[in-house]
């Protein structure tokens, strides 16, 4: 599913513009409150227990695969039509930019990385990171095999207890991550985060070490203190993604909800506490490395090692790796 901000409104001028282009207006979601406020409230309430894309999918059952949510009088077009997705992501992607509104909403989490840039800046970031993902490196599956085996073992332990697990294969709504609010409890999310962080940084977030949550109807209690300590990075990174998803739903009005505080600030502080020492150490290694040391690490170079060879700009390195880590949790992410 893809999300596009903007479109033809149903005003007379919007109708005339659509007619000139030989287009027809996208079916619009009709709420009962002004600005579709009731629809916005419903989405936020459902975020507690459902996938982010589920409300849109429910509306599509009634209106078709392409619709206009029009939150707070802003046209927000959503589509699951394969040909539309192909146009936006492949054949005409240069005309579907992220834009200023999107950039402001996600800047506090993704900065100016590959998924939050357009035009020449996007090309620069893509040029920096793409060579790292060559065939030889991608064919080495030892890291992923190890985490797969660990994930399967955790699942088997619960199955022996005749208990369900939160496996949760996520859907996708463009960059709006289709994750539940309690995403760190998702077994597959933990697997992708641990394997991606070790592959990209050389440091595993180790979220699989935290105890899996028990189903609510079992009477068993989860050691939340242990989970919060071990899986802190997984928790806060997921919550930061959730925060920017809320911003995108609210559109241009989202800054009004964060007048007192940036909703991502505390989460990103924890993320930085985990990642900043990794980047700083990589920069130090690169600046002082002898030729022999470089040869010794050439075979197991991480993305961070690759980036410090191209730039010493700390923010560029951090933004780029966070963007790729996000993609590691959703490998079909648009923009790459």
Q: What pLDDT is stored for residue 136 in this prediction?
A: 74
| 18 within domain boundaries | yes
| 260 within domain boundaries | yes
Are residues 151 and 300 both part of a single domain?
yes
What does the pLDDT average to over 30-36? 92
List strands edge to edge, sheet with 76-79: 2-5, 76-79, 66-68
Are residues 175 and 323 both part of a single domain?
yes
| 111 within domain boundaries | no
| 43 within domain boundaries | yes
What does the pLDDT average to over 70-79? 88
Domain that holds residue 203: 135-329
Are residues 68 and 159 both part of a single domain?
no
Q: What pLDDT is stored for residue 327 in this prediction?
A: 78
Are residues 70 and 146 both part of a single domain?
no
| 22 within domain boundaries | yes
| 126 within domain boundaries | no
Q: What pLDDT is stored for residue 34 in this prediction?
A: 92
Q: What is the per-residue pLDDT across 174-226, written as a single tens digit (0 to 9) for each?
A: 333 333 333 334 788 788 888 888 888 888 888 888 777 776 656 555 554 34
| 118 within domain boundaries | no
Q: What pLDDT is stored for residue 121 in this prediction?
A: 87
Residue 29 to residue 40: CA distance in whole angstroms: 11
Q: What is the 3-state secondary structure (H, E, C) of the chain?
A: CEEEECCCCCCHHHHHHHHHCCCCCCCECCCCCHHHHHHHHHHHHHCCCCCCCHHHHHHHHHHCCEEECCECCECEEEECCHHHHHHHHHHCHHHCCCHHHHHHHHHHHHCCCHHHCCHHHHHHHHHHHHHHCCHHHHCCCHHHHHHHHHHHHHHHHHHHCCCCCCCCCCEEECEEEECCCCHHHCHHHHHHHHHHHHHHHCCCCCHHHCCCCCCHHHCCCCCHHHHHHHCHHHHHHHHHHHHHHHHHHHHHHHHHHHCCCCCCHHHHHHHHHHHHHHHHHHHHHHHHCCHHHHHHHHHHCCHHHHHHCCCCCHHHHHHHHHHHHHHHHCCCCCCC
Q: What is the per-residue pLDDT across 280-320, written as a single tens digit (0 to 9) for each?
A: 999 998 888 745 555 555 557 889 999 999 999 999 999 99
Q: What pLDDT is stored for residue 8 in this prediction?
A: 59
Number of domains in the chain: 2
Are residues 89 and 159 both part of a single domain?
no
Are residues 284 and 139 both part of a single domain?
yes
Report in angstroms the alpha-carbon separations of 87 from 8, 24, 57.
18, 18, 21
Are residues 143 and 7 both part of a single domain?
no
**Last-in-domain residue among 48, 80, 96:** 96
User: Phi/psi at 261 (nearest 5 deg)?
Assistant: -160, 145
Q: What pLDDT is stored for residue 231 in this prediction?
A: 56
Token duo for residue 127: 């040029």
Are residues 140 and 285 both part of a single domain?
yes
| 117 within domain boundaries | no
What does the pLDDT average to over 155-174? 68
Place of tokens 């033809």: 8
Are residues 235 and 293 both part of a single domain?
yes
Are residues 63 and 209 both part of a single domain?
no
């Amino acid at each position: 599913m893809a999300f596009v901000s903007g479109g033809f409104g149903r005003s007379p001028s919007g109708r005339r513009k659509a007619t000139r282009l030989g287009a027809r207006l996208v079916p619009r979601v009709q709420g009962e409150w002004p600005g579709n406020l009731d629809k916005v409230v419903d989405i936020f309430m459902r975020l507690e227990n459902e996938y982010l894309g589920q409300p849109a999918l429910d509306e599509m059952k009634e209106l078709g695969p392409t619709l206009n949510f029009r939150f707070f009088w802003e046209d927000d077009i959503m589509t699951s039509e394969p040909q539309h997705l192909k146009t936006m992501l492949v054949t005409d992607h240069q005309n579907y930019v992220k834009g200023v509104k999107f950039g402001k909403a996600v800047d506090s989490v993704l900065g100016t990385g590959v998924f939050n840039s357009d035009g020449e800046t996007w090309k620069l970031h893509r040029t920096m990171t793409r060579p790292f993902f060559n065939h030889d490196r991608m064919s080495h599956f030892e890291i992923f095999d190890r985490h797969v085996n660990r994930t399967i073992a955790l699942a088997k332990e619960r199955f022996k207890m005749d208990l369900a697990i939160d496996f949760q294969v996520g859907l996708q709504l463009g960059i709006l991550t289709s994750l539940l609010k309690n995403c760190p409890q998702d077994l597959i999310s933990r697997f992708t985060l641990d394997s991606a962080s070790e592959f990209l940084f050389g440091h595993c977030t180790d979220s699989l070490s935290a105890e899996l949550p028990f189903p609510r109807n079992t009477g068993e209690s989860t050691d939340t203190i242990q989970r919060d300590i071990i899986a802190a990075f997984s928790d806060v990174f997921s919550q930061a993604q959730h925060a920017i998803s809320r911003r995108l739903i609210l559109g241009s009005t989202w800054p009004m909800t964060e007048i007192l505080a940036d909703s991502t600030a505390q989460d990103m502080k924890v993320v930085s506490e985990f990642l900043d020492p990794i980047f700083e150490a990589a920069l130090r290694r690169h600046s002082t490395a002898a030729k022999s040391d470089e040869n010794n690490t050439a075979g197991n170079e991480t993305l961070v090692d690759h980036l410090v060879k191209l730039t010493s700009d700390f923010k560029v390195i951090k933004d780029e790796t966070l963007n790729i880590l996000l993609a590691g949790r959703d490998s079909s992410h648009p923009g790459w």
